[in-house]
Amino acid sequence: METLPGVTPQEQQNTYFYIGQHETKRTVPVTTELGNQAQDAGYDMMTRPITSPGFQAKVLALVDAYFEAVSASANADAIPYPLVAPLTPEDTNLVPDEYISTMICCTSTWIDLASPDPVIAHVSRQVFNHEVAYAAFCGVNNIMIQGPDLEASSVISQYARAIWNSLEAGPYINLQILLPMQPAESKTAEDGLSLAGRARDSFKTIKSMSTDALWSWDTWELIRSTCKYHPRLTVALEVPQKLPSSEIQSRWFSEPLRTLMLPESTFARNAKGFPVLNKPVQALLTRYMRLKTVPWIILSDVGPIPGQNHPGMPVNLPDRSASPDLPTPAQSKRKQQTQTQKPKDLTPHLSYIRHLQRTQPPRPIIDRFAAGYQDFLQSPLQPLTDNLESITYEVFEKDPIKYEWYERAVAAALKDLHKKLQRPIVVAVVGAGRGPLVTRCLKASASTGIPVKQWAVEKNPNAYVLLQRRNATDPLWNKRVTVVKTDMRAWKGPVIDSSPAKVDILVSELLGSFADNELSPECLDGVQHVLHPEHGVSVPASYTAHFTPIAHPKIYADLLSRTDDQKWELPYVTMLHQYDDLCIDPKTLQPDIQTAWEFTHPLPEAIIAQSNLRRGGSVQAGGGGMVGGDGWNEHNARFCRLRFTASSRGVCHGLGGYFETVLYSPENGSKKIELSINPNTMEDKSKDMISWFPIFFPLKTPLYIPTASEIEVSMWRQTDDRKVWYEWQIEVFASLGGSRQRIAASDLHSSIKNGCLM
């Protein structure tokens, strides 16, 4: 990126905006020279039509001649449909020149692929196919296609099929469908130069859908579903001055936006007469330009490319370093004083967008941390079966919040226990890793002044080496820590003065993005026997899993392209990014993220006792778990059935999952110490914590969620004593004809083949 004069390095690190120029009706042919002029003017790209106005006139005349022949004839069926001749050099000035791969070619806007009139549809398809085929031949990479007329009589399936067909025309062509965010309130007047205007009324009788505010999105949804979420099919979204509802803005955020189209009408004029965007549109731009795949911005009908009417003449370019709305005093003075006028800004809209680019607000911390990881699917860790690498621990240890909170929790627990026990507190960190929690326990002891006897238990033989070294060398540890290498479930407990003792505070961090998915319950149950039966405390005290239905076309398309047949049957850890929450609580305006289930520690004694009886298949206990095994882990099975209300219609691609945990709840009733990645509570409970990304449970087949319908999710945590896995199923209910009916149900998904081994 070139250094722009007057721009700070910080500003320069803002995302670069690729800005293009478009004219609905170009008045000059697009040539290499025009391309140069656009580049000189500061545009990164421009659009070009494929065929000429002469071609348009030719085709319209052909259609008119056909209709005349039909009205004059006794047998309309005997007259062949109009046949559009292949392109001649007069029909197109597109050639494989130096800009061929940088310009966006536009197919003709005067056709109507969705026409209910079969002749109009037929001729439109011919024009469209000629144009796409020729553009593909020339080596064009990007084609923009006018979306279908958002009329009730449009035949979207027919339009979609034509798009599907053209995706096969060339293996490298990317297609963008140009659509408004919502249908226009009034229809633009026909100018007699379109095919749509020639459709016969007798064919317009069948009304398809009610054309409400979501109809534009709905149209896109059918097109992309028909095209099987093709990776080369994207959206060019026209942003109006008066934005649609926030639901619609959020909905488009989740779609593959290749381009944001800003027509002249979207701009307002500021007091000085410069074109500007209102605050809501600026906010939308800020939001959309933070997408991982940054959309291009195309300015439409904002004026000609400087010099385009004077080919060959150099253009006096304006000074872009100044803010377009406030000339500096120096400039004002210079304006008065100098003879040579500062050149007028011939591309004020472009200047303004560049200004916005440079003055974008900084991104939140978590965005910067997660850059590159957005929507990148990872298999959940299995730290129980696998031994983590040092670098993994190192990344975890960078979290600025988590360990702070653990320290606070241990400090509070120390205070509560010391009141009761009046002796050194026995603290054990189980799953100690490289020791950061041990450090925090020692710090809590120091800050509260309460002495502790500290244990660190770790099964990973490699991490164990580091723990021992740390104990020997770390000044805070000072050889005071007893380091034990064992799976915590096999640990017999601390020995103090040659006698077996119990642990007063059991500290662990075994949580996954869905709380229990790294088997914290199974581990802590297994080590509970070392905890003091009366006053023993677990940090964390409890944790909950949460989820909500979401739309996520990007992840769905990603999974669709993979060949592994188990891909739909397991959850993924991912920085959820380009998605839309489907169920917004109308009171709080937040996504309705509900609680699936909870685990608390330590467990009541009776439950552990029954589990132990069942271990080894005791007949008295009842043996025989329900899914195999003896059932000694059955108390850790969970089931929930939650009901959500869809805010507006959409498509559900799966569930976004999160967790929360109460590390410790102080006895004096002061605020619980909690961690959360639940978007609704994370700011409040543990702002800026980076250690966990959310989790995503996919659906193999996207479910349509109509307006005013309810989504019921059944989810199971299953166990057969050897492993743990999840199962999930989604049903959709709506009120039809006065009765509540099921209108769709997903498969029952099961991650049993990718279960977490105990």
Active-site amino acid positions: 509, 518
Q: How far is the CB of 156 from a second copy (least distance, A)?
A: 9
Give the C-alpha distances (Å, rounded to integers) separating 435 from 52, 401, 486, 613, 674. Answer: 71, 16, 15, 35, 21
Q: Tell me: does residue 1 bind a second copy (CB under 8 A).
A: no
402 is in an annotated binding site: yes
Q: Tell me: does residue 709 bind a second copy (CB under 8 A).
A: yes
Q: Which of 372, 388, 395 is nearest to 575 (CA)?
A: 372
Q: Tell me: does residue 161 bind a second copy (CB under 8 A).
A: yes
Distance CA 75, CA 69 (A): 10
The residue from 77, 185, 497, 564 that contacts a second copy (CB under 8 A) is 77
Quick count: other Cβ atoms within 10 Å of Cβ 88?
Answer: 10
Question: Which of the stretches 48-56, 161-169, 187-195, 444-452 binds a second copy when contact is defined by CB under 8 A?
Answer: 161-169
Question: Which of the stretches 371-379, 383-391, 666-674, 742-750 binds a second copy when contact is defined by CB under 8 A?
Answer: 742-750
Q: How far is the CB of 753 from a second copy (least distance, A)?
A: 12
Radius of gyration, CA atoms only, the chain: 32
Q: Which of 268, 17, 49, 61 is nearest to 145 (CA)?
A: 49
81 is in an annotated binding site: no
Q: Tell me: does residue 604 bind a second copy (CB under 8 A).
A: yes
**β-strands 452-458, 425-430: how paired?**
parallel
Q: Tell me: does residue 310 bind a second copy (CB under 8 A).
A: no
Distance CA 366, CA 382 (A): 24
The residue from 4, 7, 70, 209 that contacts a second copy (CB under 8 A) is 209
Which segments of 187-263 are extended strands (E)?
233-238, 257-263
The residue from 210, 337, 668, 670 that contacts a second copy (CB under 8 A) is 210
Q: Tell me: does residue 359 bind a second copy (CB under 8 A).
A: no
Q: Which of 523, 468, 529, 535 is nearest to 500 (CA)?
A: 529
User: Between residues 58 and 415, which has the closer beta carbon with respect to a second copy?
Assistant: 58
Distance CA 106, CA 383 (A): 52
Q: Tell me: does residue 623 bind a second copy (CB under 8 A).
A: yes
Q: Tell me: does residue 372 bind a second copy (CB under 8 A).
A: no
Distance CA 248, CA 584 (A): 13
If residue 382 lies in a helix (H) or strand (E), which one and from where to where?
Answer: none
User: Between residues 157 and 561, which has the closer beta carbon with respect to a second copy?
Assistant: 157
User: Between residues 206 and 589, which has the closer beta carbon with respect to a second copy?
Assistant: 206
Quick count: other Cβ atoms within 10 Å of Cβ 497?
Answer: 5
What's the 3-state SS for 93-133?
Answer: CCCCCCCCCCCEEECCCCCCCCCCCHHHHHHHHHHHHHHHH
User: Between residues 591 and 625, which has the closer beta carbon with respect to a second copy?
Assistant: 625
Q: Are 550 and 653 in contact (CB under 8 A)?
A: yes
The residue from 29, 96, 190, 228 that contacts a second copy (CB under 8 A) is 228
User: Between residues 155 and 756, which has the closer beta carbon with respect to a second copy?
Assistant: 155
64 is in an annotated binding site: no
Q: Tell me: does residue 309 bind a second copy (CB under 8 A).
A: no
Query: How many residues of this chain interact with a second copy, rule: CB under 8 A?
Result: 83
Distance CA 144, CA 19 (A): 15
Q: Tell me: does residue 83 bind a second copy (CB under 8 A).
A: yes
Q: Tell me: does residue 208 bind a second copy (CB under 8 A).
A: yes
* Encoded tokens for 224: 């992309």
The residue from 622, 645, 679, 681 that contacts a second copy (CB under 8 A) is 622
User: Between residues 323 and 542, which has the closer beta carbon with respect to a second copy?
Assistant: 542
Sorted by sequence, the CB contacts under 8 Å of residue 230 that are 6+ apart come out as 164, 167, 224
Q: Tell me: does residue 338 bind a second copy (CB under 8 A).
A: no
User: Between residues 76 and 184, which has the closer beta carbon with respect to a second copy?
Assistant: 76
Length of the chain: 758
403 is in an annotated binding site: yes
Q: Tell me: does residue 358 bind a second copy (CB under 8 A).
A: no
- Binning the chain into helix, strand and coil, the percentages to the nearest 5 are 30, 25, 45
If residue 508 lies in a helix (H) or strand (E), which one and from where to where?
Answer: strand 505-508
Distance CA 524, CA 538 (A): 9
Q: Tell me: does residue 707 bind a second copy (CB under 8 A).
A: yes
592 is in an annotated binding site: no
Q: Are 385 and 523 in contact (CB under 8 A)?
A: no
Phi, psi of 387 (to 5 degrees): -95, 125
The residue from 186, 606, 669, 671 that contacts a second copy (CB under 8 A) is 606
Question: Which of the stretches 263-271, 316-324, 535-543, 727-735 binds a second copy when contact is defined by CB under 8 A?
Answer: 727-735
The residue from 36, 240, 743, 754 that contacts a second copy (CB under 8 A) is 743
Q: Tell me: does residue 753 bind a second copy (CB under 8 A).
A: no
Q: Are 366 and 690 in contact (CB under 8 A)?
A: yes
Within 643-662, the residues that bind a second copy by CB under 8 A are 643, 649
b or e along 692-718 (b: 16 or more beta carbons within 10 Å of the residue's beta carbon)?
bbbbbbbbeebbebeeebbbbbbbbbb
Distance CA 690, CA 395 (A): 10
User: Between residues 3 and 739, which has the closer beta carbon with respect to a second copy?
Assistant: 739
Q: Tell me: does residue 557 bind a second copy (CB under 8 A).
A: no
Q: Tell me: does residue 685 bind a second copy (CB under 8 A).
A: no
* Encoded tokens for 369: 């941390």
Q: Tell me: does residue 118 bind a second copy (CB under 8 A).
A: yes
The residue from 7, 18, 31, 164 that contacts a second copy (CB under 8 A) is 164
Q: Tell me: does residue 213 bind a second copy (CB under 8 A).
A: no
458 is in an annotated binding site: yes
DSSP 551-569: E-HHHHHHHHT---TTTTS
Q: How far is the CB of 634 from a second copy (least distance, A)?
A: 8
User: Between residues 103 and 135, which has the closer beta carbon with respect to a second copy?
Assistant: 135
Q: How far is the CB of 644 from a second copy (least distance, A)?
A: 13
Q: How far is the CB of 294 from a second copy (least distance, A)?
A: 31
The residue from 190, 639, 688, 757 that contacts a second copy (CB under 8 A) is 639
Q: Give binding residues for S-adenosyl-L-methionine as ranges.
A: 393, 402-403, 458, 487-488
Q: Give binding residues as ranges.
A: 393, 402-403, 458, 487-488
